[in-house]
Every structure is written in C-alpha cells, then in structure tokens.
Amino acid sequence: MEQTGSEKVIFWELDPSLEQPLPAPNSVEPCIRTSGVTDIGIFTDEQDIRTPVDKMNFQPGGKYHSIVKLFICSEASKTWTTATGWLLEDDLVVTAGHCVLLDDQHASCVRLCIGYSAGSGESKDSDALCDSQRFVARIALPFAWSDAKVEQSDVAFLQLDRPFYNVVPIAYSTPEIKAQQWLTVVGYPADLGTATEGPGGEMYEFKISQDMDLERSRRGMLGYHGDTHGGQKVLFLCSTAS
C-alpha cells in the first residue's frame, strides 16, 4: 500500500491476471463489521419490506443495470465476502471502504459482476459471462478510514481492469440539506439468501419516506431504517417518486 501526501488517500494495486475461480455461492460470507450472529431487526414495523428486483431492471437497459455485485477475497484470511457497488464511470466502481479494508484484512482480489443473479446460470463459463464480469486493478480510499475508521470516510473507489461497454453509469448529485421524499434502497443484501444461492444472491429493493435534515443528523449523514449489521451495508440509495 502507498499513501499520498496532501490528498490523504491510500491505494494499492491488484493483479487481475492472478484470477481466482469464483467461489461456490454458499461459501461466500457476508461483508459485515461486527462479529457473531446479529438479528436483522431493522424495520420499525417488524416486517421485512424488501422485495426482489424485476430482472428487466438489472439487465442491459434497466434502471439498476449499473448496480453491481462484488466478490471480495481477503489477503490475510483468503475468505470471500460479498457486497454491492455501483458504476460511477464505465471503469470505476464505488463501494464501502470496510468491504476492502478492515482491521488487518485488505482485498487481494475483487471480482465484479453486472446484471448478476445467482439463480440464472451466471456461474457457468460463457462469452456472455466474460462480458458481464471484470476484475479490480486498483483500490483507493481515504486515509481517514484506514487510520481512524471515520464513518464519513467509509468509502472506496475501485478501478477495473477494463471498462464495461454499453452501460450507463449511475447519475449522482449533491443531496439536499433538508427534504422529505421517497427513497429507494437497492442492492445485494448479504443477510438474504438460500442454501444454494448463498448470501446476497439476488438484488432486492424497498422504498421509504424519509425526512432529511443533514444539518442536524449524526455526523451530517443520511440515516434510514434498513442498514443492518447482517449484511445490507453497501446499497444504492436514490430519490424516487412515491
């Protein structure tokens, strides 16, 4: 790893040529920041309101096509974990910093799938599979996360070994300071899965009506009922119509 001087960023390079076979779905562990088993317990009405995303929405041309599935292998433990990321550019993905660097564990191999669904045959080798997968070549994240685990700096940027083609990156902008609006939370929740698909095998979404006041919120960050230690950590959050 190297640390830059003024930018306060750390980065390291990965070798995409050292391909590691994608693990069996049921051998992948959730990417969490706590140890032990944690009850999901995230919805105020004690009802899990997440629903599977329609396949057309994460396939080419779909509104969620640029939300991607990450398989992350740790250098120290050789354990595979799963997470969600999204394309900011055709060769740049953003995810949470703790997914690639946490304590003494840092990512040595990251495999990325677009249009992923564990139950639809993506685990088989094919030309289509090659087009839908990439490896990460470089990782950069704020030094504040590496040094002190500052929550506002829990973010990482992943440069791919080659760009995706015919994709539309996620459009993003600075959020409003105060607002009440409907938000959609969407991604691959690692607390949901089956014995055959493993955690995070399918993309889920749910909508919430949220009052936002970033000036008064903890650390100036948006919070919502849906962030669980059980694995639903790195999800895409977007403003939607009711």
Model pLDDT for residues 61-97, shown as the tens digit of each residue: 999 999 999 999 988 778 888 889 999 999 999 998 9
Residue with structure tokens 């749910």? 206
Q: Is residue 62 part of a domain?
A: no
Q: Is residue 218 part of a domain?
A: yes
Q: First vs last Cα of the chain: how many Å apart?
A: 45
Total domains, the chain: 1
Model pLDDT for residues 18-69, shown as the tens digit of each residue: 766 666 656 676 666 543 333 333 455 567 778 999 999 999 999 999 999 9
Q: Is residue 110 part of a domain?
A: no
Q: Is residue 28 part of a domain?
A: no
Please give the residue range of the domain that contains residue 182: 178-240
- Confirm whether pTM is higher than 0.85: no
Q: Is residue 137 part of a domain?
A: no
> Where are the strands (E) in the chain, listed by range?
2-3, 9-13, 29-30, 51-52, 67-74, 80-89, 92-95, 101-102, 105-114, 133-142, 156-160, 178-187, 193-194, 198-199, 204-213, 236-240
The stretch 172-194 carries a mean pLDDT of 75
Q: Is residue 229 part of a domain?
A: yes
Q: Is residue 143 part of a domain?
A: no
Q: Is residue 9 part of a domain?
A: no
